[in-house]
Amino acid sequence: MNDIPSTPGKTVELTLDARPQNLALIRLALAGVAGNAGASREIVSDLKLAVTEACTNVIQHAYGGDAGAGEIVVRYTVERGMVAVEVEDTGSGFELDVPQAASDRNGGGNGLMIIRVLTDELNVSSAGTGTRVAFVKRFSPES
């Protein structure tokens, strides 16, 4: 995967407890910044799903399943016709080389695949000190 370059533009950063209750605030902030970038309702919906998948992974896995044990940092960088999203945690990380078929057999393991399909660029880095999921969506802005 290519590194997602730093994008000049306006950035909004949220630092919240990694709890399911905070997903609504994360999605609401995304809808606001994506709307300012000229995103259509369909683009906003896709981005909300992508950020929900990334944040849910943090909530469920980053801190040993102990929701609220750590923080989640979400950054939105916007320009007209583009939204870049970064989701970071300081949890245990995960092995990036696990094949998709070897993922959770109970219906999980599809989050990164969903993000990849919904966005134009995806970069994932993970180590024992945390994980960073970054993605970019480009679009023709609405008037």
Whether 4 is in a domain gets the answer: no
3-state secondary structure the chain: CCCCCCCCCEEEEEEEECCHHHHHHHHHHHHHHHHHCCCCHHHHHHHHHHHHHHHHHHHHHHCCCCCCCCEEEEEEEEECCEEEEEEEECCCCCCCCCCHHHCCCCCCCCHHHHHHHHCCEEEEEEECCEEEEEEEEECCCCC
Average pLDDT, the chain: 85
Give the total number of structural domains in the chain: 1
Task: Tell me if 71 is assigned to some domain.
Answer: yes
Residue 38 has pLDDT above 70, yes or no: yes
What is the structure's pLDDT at 111? Answer: 86
Reported as a pLDDT band with limits 50, 70 and 90, residue 143 is low
Which position has the higher pLDDT, 139 or 7? 139
| pLDDT, tens only, 55-84 | 999 988 888 777 668 999 999 999 989 999
Tell me what pLDDT residue 128 has.
80
pLDDT of residue 124: 93
pLDDT at 102: 42
12-21, 33-42, 60-69, 98-107: which range is least confident on average? 98-107
Tell me if 100 is assigned to some domain. Answer: yes
pTM, to two decimals:
0.84
Domain region containing 121: 10-138
> Would you say residue 5 lies in a domain?
no
Question: Quick one: average pLDDT of 16-30?
Answer: 95
**Has residue 143 been placed in a domain?**
no
Measured CA to CA, the distance from residue 34 to residue 119 in angstroms comes to 13
CATH code (residue 47):
3.30.565.10
What CA–CA distance (Å, rounded) separates 88 from 72? Answer: 6
